[in-house]
């Protein structure tokens, strides 16, 4: 299940950009953050794929969503200029941003290469 973040929950679960100058991930497992808006067509195409992946990787990766219309300060803090923008956050490395609606296969590849998470075989 994807989880919607506000500025407050983002600072607790991901990164408190107001107190930390350097990147310091607050999570306990790798994460993907989808910066989106309700009116965005490509965002709507990615949403069901992210829901599917959040089930398939539920114990390995947290998948969050940030509505850029409601959380404009948060979007600005990360320099979000186009949506969807996907922020991949490995546990012990710098986050990486990807722009655009990525297909499921490409997202899984990023989970493996960037987040270092292999899909569990059922």
Closest to 14 (Cα-Cα) out of 59, 73, 74, 70:
74
Are the C-beta atoms of residues 46 and 98 closer than 8 Å to each other?
no
In the numeric block, the tokens 């899909």 are attached to 119
Widest Cα–Cα separation across the chain:
41
**String of DSSP letters for 57-105:** TTTT-EEEEEETTT-HHHHHHTT--SSSEEEEE-TTS--EEEES---HH
Under 8 Å between Cβ of 14 and 25: yes
Q: Identify whether 40 is a catalytic site residue.
A: yes
Output the tens digit of pLDDT for each of the chain's 122 residues.
899 999 999 999 999 999 998 999 999 999 999 999 999 999 999 999 999 999 999 899 999 999 999 999 999 999 999 999 999 999 989 999 999 999 999 999 999 999 999 887 65
- Is 49 noted as a catalytic residue in this protein? no
Indicate which residue of 5, 14, 32, 43 is catalytic: 43
Q: What is the pLDDT of residue 21?
A: 86
Q: What angle do CA 98, 36, 40 make, to 5 degrees?
A: 110
Catalytic residue among 40, 46, 86, 107: 40
């Amino acid at each position: 299940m994807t989880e919607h973040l506000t500025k407050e929950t983002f600072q607790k679960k991901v990164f408190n950009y107001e107190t930390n100058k350097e990147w310091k991930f607050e999570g306990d497992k790798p994460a993907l953050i989808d910066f989106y808006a309700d009116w965005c067509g490509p965002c709507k195409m990615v949403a069901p794929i992210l829901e599917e992946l959040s089930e398939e990787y539920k114990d390995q990766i947290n998948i969050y969503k940030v509505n850029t219309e409601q959380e404009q300060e948060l979007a600005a803090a990360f320099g979000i200029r186009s949506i969807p923008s996907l922020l991949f956050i490995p546990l012990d490395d710098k986050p990486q941003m990807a722009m655009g609606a990525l297909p499921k296969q490409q997202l899984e590849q990023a989970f493996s290469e960037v987040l270092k998470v292999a899909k569990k075989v059922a």
